[in-house]
A and B are shown apart, each in its own frame.
Chain A
Amino acid sequence: MKKNKLSYAKYGYLFSLPFVIAFLLFSLYPICYTLIIGFTDLKGMGKTSFHFLADPLQNFKVVLAAPTFHTALKNTVFMWVCNFIPQVLLALLLTAWFTDRSSKVRGQGLFKVIFYMPNIITAATIAILFNAMFGYPMGPVNDLLAKMNSVGFFHGLLEKMGLGAPPIYFLQSKTTTRAIVIFIQTWMWYGYTMIILISGVLGISPEIFEAAEVDGAGKWQIFFGITLPNIRPILLFTLVTSLIGGLSMFDIPKLFMLGGPDNATLTTSVYIYNQAFSGSYMYNRAAAASIIMFIIMSVASAILFFIMRDKDEVKMQKIKKEQMKLRKAEERAARKGAKA
């Protein structure tokens, strides 16, 4: 028998070989190559030959000192944070509603399908669609504002928000453009986050909820005391994937306003693209910027894992204690019931 097993081991290597080859060729080699290009003078359209620089870190220094890169990095982080927080809050709220055991929301399936839809549509199309939607002087949003302003009640409200006199040239303002990109990101992703969180809640053993209900815990007590701590690992997963996706955001800012106006929506990925594939084709600077971003992402993810993991264990122990308490309470209740 043992001999038999040993002779099959080679198939383990054989069957994972295509993966390994493809990874080495299309991922590892390009990463190393990117790193090397970061130390060289490689620039100019269609050039492939290069020399190492006298000061190998020159590109990294130039990128780190470039005001445009600073703007891009600030924008990227700002836009990610501002879209992630409302996205998760909204997803959590919807999760609480959809998994509420005392009052079932009807049509959940349909709502899920509709909320998730923007996520599956080509981001490039969405970027250009929103560009057209906020068109000036006559885009759909301006048209809607004009119609709403003709109603007295809405007019007062809109005037207070500074939207009282359309047409408004939305895409001229840095703040507004950034806000729209943030809105698009939130709008595209809250449905996805919601589905993930719901599946997390459904994975929690129903007994815990039942026990809490028997104990007389209120809706909000249950949500904050049981649901939230139990979906912590899934929140971490959402946080890390969203962070990496957010820090490499490209399609929306690139096509919505080409990183403008005045670099207001320039992200680091758009910066890298522009450095390498426009102007003077500075592959070396783009490579250095890529490596810097790679380091930032790795460090940020590692920190997140570290923070969340530590607290996690502490929390898990607390939950276990609470569960024990609840179970005891349940037993007590059962005994009482038996007596009666």
Chain B
Amino acid sequence: MRKKSNPVWMVLVYVVLIFLAILSIMPFLIMMVNATRSTTEIQQHAISLIPSSYTMKNFAILTGKSFNPMRGFLNSLIISTGATICAVYFSTLTAYALVIYDWKLRQPFFTFIMAIMMIPTQVTMIGFYQFVYKIHMTNNFLMLILPAIASPSIVFFMRQYMQPTLSPEIVQSARIDGAREFYIFNHIVLPIMKPAIATQSIFVFVTNWNRLFEPLILLTDQKRYTLPIMVSLLRGDIYKTEYGAVYLGLTLTVLPLIVVYLLLSKYIIAGVALGSVKG
């Protein structure tokens, strides 16, 4: 016996939902429109939904002052791709070790992974910086990529996914066929794990793309700046009165993310939901 909801109530629900939707979209919309407008236009009316024609001029101002979006884009791409490959590959490998093999320290190791899952990078950063500085690697991207090999939360996720998906019989029959352990992992296990790998890759990539704290501390050479560091330059005095250029700079850093998000939103939302059930 389901009662139908009051139509007035439903209208209220939709009003709230639409209000929240506008709240989510508006800042980005204003930003993108203002990226096409001149500083004078923005100073007269800061909100407009009609694009103007100053994009190229804004771009010239933007890149004329130490802001190099292409360089930042490339650096962010290298770091994010590297970190994603490391995190996903080695986490799957570690999960494989936890699921398939019978070893003495298996359970303690899993407990240990659970325990270190919550350590935030902020608390390790001073020691990490000193260590990296000592070995003269401060501007080396490897120092931002290699730590991803130990990603406890991804190992946890991969293990949860692998347990019901990968049957030991498959591994066993591959062994009978004469395949070596490492070969089995690369050619049989990885393809089976594809859906989980795809989901996690998106999240690891985006997280690394957005990261500010670690790169800000480690990368001191302007040529090595990532996009978030470039963005932080827009806060500086040199852009104080160049509103159009600032909005364009912000837009350029957000655009790739929004495009990727709109293309993959279905998987991303499903991935967020999936990740939580396990927690």
A: residues with CB less than 8 A from B are 5, 8-16, 18-23, 26-27, 29-37, 42, 46, 48, 94, 97, 100-103, 105, 107, 109, 111-118, 120-126, 128-133, 135, 138-140, 142-144, 147, 187, 191-192, 195-196, 198-200, 202-203, 213-214, 216, 219, 234, 237-238, 240-241, 244-245, 247-248, 250-251, 254-255, 258, 269, 272-273, 276-277, 283, 286-287, 290-291, 293-294, 297, 301
Docked-complex contact B2 and A125, CB < 8 angstroms? no
Contact B235 A116 (CB under 8 A): no
Q: Which residues of B contact A22 (CB under 8 A)?
A: 90, 146-150
Interface residues on B, range: 35 or more
Contacts A128-B232, A277-B217 known; A26 to B127 CB distance under 8 Å? no
Q: Which of B242-270 contact A (CB under 8 A)?
A: 243, 246-247, 250, 253-254, 257-258, 261, 265-266, 268-269
| CA gap between A199 and B223 in the complex, in Å | 43
Contact A198 B273 (CB under 8 A): yes
- How many Å lie between the Cα of A8 and that of B180 in the bound state? 11
Q: Given contacts A131-B235, A244-B118, are A276 and B129 in contact (CB under 8 A)?
A: yes
Contact B254 A125 (CB under 8 A): yes
In contact, B257 and A248 (Cβ under 8 angstroms): no
A34 to B80, CA, bound (A): 26
Distance from B275 Cβ to chain A, minimum over Cβ atoms (Å): 8
Closest residue of chain B to A135 (Cβ to Cβ) is: B46
CB distance from B238 to the nearest CB of A (A): 14
- A142 CB, nearest partner CB in chain B, Å: 7
Nearest B-chain residue to A126, judged by Cβ: B27
A250 and B246 contact, CB distance less than 8 A: no
**When A33-B130, A124-B228 are in contact, do A115 and B210 touch as well, CB less than 8 Å?**
no
Task: Select which of B98, B122, B127, B149 is within 8 A of A269 by beta carbon.
Answer: B122
Tell whether, in the assembled complex, residue A18 and residue B149 are in contact, meaning their CB atoms are under 8 Å apart: yes
Chain A residues whose C-beta falls within 8 Å of the C-beta of B133 in the assembled complex: 46, 48
What B residues does A130 contact at CB under 8 A? 27
Return the contact of B106 from the options A12, A18, A48, A301 (Cβ within 8 A): A12
The reply to whether B231 and A125 contact each other, CB–CB distance below 8 Å, is: yes
Which B residues from 222 to 237 make CB contacts under 8 A with A? 227-228, 231-232, 234-235
Give the nearest-CB partner of B26 in chain A. A140
Say yes or no: A294 contacts B150, CB within 8 Å: no
Residue of B nearest to A97 (CB): B13
